[in-house]
Structure 1
Amino acid sequence: MSFLDITRGDGPLVLGLPHTGTDLPDDVAGALNETGGALADTDWHIHRLYDGLAEDVTTVRTTIHRYAIDVNRDPSGASLYPGQNTTGLCPLTDFDGIPIYKEGCEPGAAEVERRRLAFHVPYHTALSAELDRVRVRHGFAILYDCHSIRSEIPFLFDGRLPDFNIGTDGGKTCAPGIETAVADICARAGGYTTVRNGRFRGGWTTRQYGRPAEGLHAIQMELAQSTYMTGHAPWAYDPRRADRLRGHLKTILDTLMRWRPE
């Protein structure tokens, strides 16, 4: 089964799509309970939301669901947010803290390693190769990591999540001008809320590839799903809301495509 979807462009921008997939190997699907089988924690429709917004952009997407392995987690298993509730490399619970495996079917260390080699490593090998290709062509590359999540998840955060959640690990993963440009576009987007480096300040991908001194810039965008879809099963795409949001996302991507180091 092919689980990587790569589109190559000639521009400096690479979109990472780590959580839009819903594919599960048969053995993993069979081990999940009813909660796990619902796949509620998918970044639903994100590849559709960004599709066609920028010309000459490169995209790297895995179709494997995060319940098999989360390619945006540290492969060592270390927590991205020490002291806060989160899910791991091979999640055992959903975002509400509810177990997703049938009793006794949880993956052990050997199974986690098998999944890492089968799915996590190939995704990052492909992403790294595309970033290197783009950097050779332009002298720099920008990774824009595309995410979305439900607006209210008490297990993970208090209250209601802002609409635009910009993550740069406190400004470490990209040039200041990139973060400022994206933040300014979000702040000017009427009717939306935004935050920089709030609850989501960039996952492992953003932190791993964001090395501005080497010409590699990374920024994560975590969108509240209420901005473009229904917030409950069957997780329907809302064209009216999505089209309004797509206008702002296009402005972001066009701005990043034009950005150049000073």
Structure 2
Amino acid sequence: MSGFLEIRRGRAPLIVAFPHTGTDMPADVEMRFVSGWLARKDADWWIDDLYRFARELDATCIRTRISRSVIDVNRDPWGRSLYPGQATTELCPTTTFDGEPLYTGDGPDNAEIDRRRATYFDPYHAAIGAELGRLRAVHHRVVLYDAHSIRSRIPRLFDGELPQFSVGTNDRAACSGALADRIGELCGRSGHSHVVDGRFRGGWTTRHYGRPDDGIHAVQMELAQRGYMDEPADPSPDNWPTPIHAAPAIAPVLSDILSTCIAFAKGKE
């Protein structure tokens, strides 16, 4: 599937990545899934719309249109778990977050996983690497902000209800502690619940690219989807996904966070 990457280049020292908003699937893969709806169920719905203000901030935005059920570009490319001992999904998922089988038969074999990695994973990360290099050539520091969302309650993955904002910095190995603190403060002042390096400490993107000593600071933001869309108790093809709210209350908070990332990279924070 050609043209699956969307890249909007900006001049600010900020990249906003959208690895899981895509819903596209090549026909030969989609026909193997139990259903197209099930294979799209766990998308980070509407996140690229929620962050549309990033363009006004002159941030670089990188998005893949491919569904995470085809390949998850925020997983370790060799299949190693990022959260050992905890339930998660694979590089090429075989189940939904709720544990429902995705495939009518066997999942992809090693050769198919290699093909998907070369076709989608590698170009996506080549684009991130190229944009980081372009911006680092003109900025002393660059922030890579990995934008995510997830349903507030998924018992298979975590207990209870997620905080509205889950900030992941790989225990501050991926970004400056000062930046992590500032983002946490903004989340706290919003009046919504938040956590820094809780259940989601950052996926492969955050851990791979975050090199503060080299001027690259990576942060993952996992939003509970209740903050910008209605969440049915039992998602089904009849009620999921719901539309994005007309004016999400968390949008100004997110705008302040991205502005803070830019100010930090420019040395103004």
Q: Which TM-score band applies after superposition, normalised by the shorter structure?
A: over 0.9
2:242 corresponds in structure 1 to 236
Q: Residue 252 in 1 paired to residue 257 in 2?
A: yes
SS in 1 for 2:71: coil
1:14 corresponds in structure 2 to 15
Q: Which runs of 5+ in 2 are unaligned?
A: none
1:219 corresponds in structure 2 to 219
The whole-number CA distance in structure 2 between the counterparts of 1:122 and 1:71 is 10
The whole-number CA distance in structure 2 between the counterparts of 1:150 and 1:179 is 23
Question: Conserved in 1, the CA contact under 8 Å of 2:33 and 2:39?
Answer: no
Amino acid at match of 2:45: W
1:149 corresponds in structure 2 to 150
Question: Conserved in 1, the CA contact under 8 Å of 2:44 and 2:148?
Answer: yes
Amino acid at match of 2:262: M
Amino acid at match of 2:93: P
TM-score under structure 2 normalisation?
Answer: 0.93
Question: Conserved in 2, the CA contact under 8 Å of 1:229 and 1:241?
Answer: no
CA shift at 1:69, angstroms?
Answer: 0.3
Q: For each residue in 1:17-69, what CA deviation from the matched residue of structure 2 results, as whole angstroms up to 9, or x when unmatched? A: 00000000111100000376451100000000000244210011100000000
CA RMSD after TM alignment: 1.4
For 1:71, which of 65, 70, 73 is the aligned residue? 73
CA shift at 1:234, angstroms?
Answer: 2.7
Question: Conserved in 2, the CA contact under 8 Å of 1:92 and 1:101?
Answer: yes
Amino acid at match of 2:118: L
Amino acid at match of 1:78: R
Question: Conserved in 2, the CA contact under 8 Å of 1:166 and 1:222?
Answer: yes
Q: Residue 209 in 1 paired to residue 209 in 2?
A: yes
CA shift at 1:140, angstroms?
Answer: 1.7
SS in 1 for 2:31: helix
Question: Conserved in 2, the CA contact under 8 Å of 1:141 and 1:215?
Answer: yes
Q: Residue 121 in 1 paired to residue 126 in 2?
A: no
Question: Conserved in 2, the CA contact under 8 Å of 1:210 and 1:216?
Answer: yes
Q: For each residue in 1:66-112, what CA deviation from the matched residue of structure 2 results, as whole angstroms up to 9, or x when unmatched? A: 000000000010001000000010000000011100123x1000000
TM-score under structure 1 normalisation?
Answer: 0.95
The whole-number CA distance in structure 2 between the counterparts of 1:258 and 1:11 is 10
Amino acid at match of 1:207: R
Amino acid at match of 1:72: N
The whole-number CA distance in structure 2 between the counterparts of 1:142 and 1:246 is 19
Residues matched between the structures, number: 259
Identity of aligned residues (%): 48
SS in 2 for 1:122: helix
Question: Conserved in 2, the CA contact under 8 Å of 1:169 and 1:202?
Answer: yes
For 2:95, which of 93, 102, 113 is the aligned residue? 93
Question: Conserved in 2, the CA contact under 8 Å of 1:162 and 1:194?
Answer: yes
Amino acid at match of 1:57: A
Q: Which runs of 5+ in 1 are unaligned?
A: none
Query: Which has the larger displacement, 134-143 or 145-154?
Result: 134-143
